[in-house]
Amino acid sequence: MAKPKAPVAPEVAVSGEIPAPASAKWTDKVKAFAETCELEAADVEAKFVGLVGKASDKAADRLGNEKLSPYEDLSALFPDVPKAVLREAVNGLRDIQVTAAPVATHEGASDGAEEAPFVSLLPTVPDDTNLLASLGTFQGAQIDPIDVIAAMRVKLMQQLSLSDIESRIADAIEERAVNAGEQCPPIWDEIEMQRKRFAHAEVLKALGKPGDLISAARKKELLARVSDIFERVHDYKLVLDAYREEYDRRTNNPAHMMTAITQALGRASSGRGRRLSEAPSPNNVVAATEALIQSFNAMFAGNGRAVARGMAADAIATKAILDRTDLPAALGAASRVQMIKDLKLGVESDLINAEKDIQQFILGAMQLLQVPTNQLPDYIVDLSELGCVIPWPRLGVRGTVPGNGAARPLPGAGNRSFG
């Protein structure tokens, strides 16, 4: 007797194609994300479904909502995608366009909710070469953004447990060469010379400070002073978040939206500018910014500014070693990730990649008081959104979860009413 035929399974899409039927909005978001990240669309879709539910317009909207699908959750789903690429892909989910310059305004727009392509108002971050050059010059008697960035780099180096890493790397290279019966490669000599030369010597000389200023005692003192720098900055972010949420609430209110549309019909608008009349009072943010900057002053008492800058120079030199493309091979590792594991550094890749975001956030806070009044509301929103992609728990900020968190209020920021 012939066996009954097994039911034929429906065809499954292959080669990254998404099965039909599906929401067009969902399909477009999945395909665009997959193409940006160079992943199979089917794999991307499966992970998205686990995060926001089955394919639908509502699920696509959830992907576009920072609160419902925060960057941290998406980053956890795609840990192998380079962070800059992932941010570009996530911007696509949020329907954010990044352009090199603002686009021209358009008159007579009929849709007041439509915004021009996004252009960040925040200051740019100096690369390590420019930062290193800036460390050797005080801009005045008062602390400046370079001092605070230097302190942050020192704290981040401690957070990554990279103290004395040059010696550990040099020892590992030499041990491998001995075991293989080979000569030490040239990189060993370069690392040893850099380790004994100390990058901070040139910075201290440029600042007119003694070469032996950075003693063990002064290092310990500075590290104690900067121990809670990330907590302070995160507390400040919460004030920005409260402002952004109130701003969003006002501009999403139907009555406010009709007012914005009416205004847009009567004049040219840049998209952001037509929301200005709905912006809350920035007084709380201004007060919190002043309090944050004031709280930084104590970190640099005595010779703190010079010590922080010198130690930051050493941190930059250490990072340059870890970034060398020939280092993994010298250690017998197949990749940089494998090298980090072999050295047992315990370095989180998202923390390394967040370094630029943290620097930009601090720069943005330090410069907020100089922002023109008509740009201040959107500047605050930009700064708040930047803070949302920083992995605060990895920075040791307790009581936070990705995309959320609560911490003690800053002095002067207790009253968060909006005018």
Tokens of 3: 């066996």
Alpha carbons 94 and 138: distance in angstroms, whole number: 41
* pLDDT score for 340: 80
- Amino acid identity of 133? A
Q: Select from 290, 370, 295 the least CA-distant residue to 122.
A: 370
State the number of CA atoms in the 13 A half-sphere of 71 facing the CB.
22
CB 402 within 8 A of CB 393: yes
**Block residue for tokens 């954010």:** 96
User: Do the Cβ atoms of 259 and 396 come closer than 8 Å?
Assistant: no
Residue 352 is predicted with a pLDDT of 65
For residue 85, the one-letter residue type is: V
Total number of residues shown for the chain: 419
- Residue 302 structure tokens: 């005595």
Rounded to whole angstroms, the Cα distance separating 208 from 310 reads: 12
Q: At what angle do helices 145-159 and 216-225 cross, to 10 degrees?
A: 100
- How remote is the C-alpha of 231 from its chain's centroid? 16
Helix, strand, coil shares, percent, the chain, to 5: 60, 0, 40
Q: What is the pLDDT of residue 404?
A: 41
pLDDT, averaged per 10 consecutive residues of the chain (419 residues), comes to 47 38 79 90 89 86 80 82 80 55 33 45 86 86 89 87 82 92 91 78 89 90 92 95 90 51 38 63 94 91 92 89 88 84 67 81 93 91 92 78 40 34
Give the pLDDT score at 275: 59
Query: What DSSP string runs through 328-378?
Result: HHHTT-SSHHHHHHHTT----HHHHHTHHHHHHHHHHHHHGGGS-TTTHHH
Per-residue model confidence (pLDDT) at position 245: 92
Q: 347 to each of 83, 117, 278, how far by Cα in Å?
A: 15, 36, 44
CA distances from 238 to 71, 233, 381, 385 (A): 17, 9, 12, 11
Q: How many CA atoms lie within 13 A of 73 on its CB side?
A: 17
3-class DSSP assignment, residue 98: strand
CB–CB of 201/209 below 8 Å?
A: no
- Rg over CA atoms, the chain: 25
Residue 43, SS3? helix
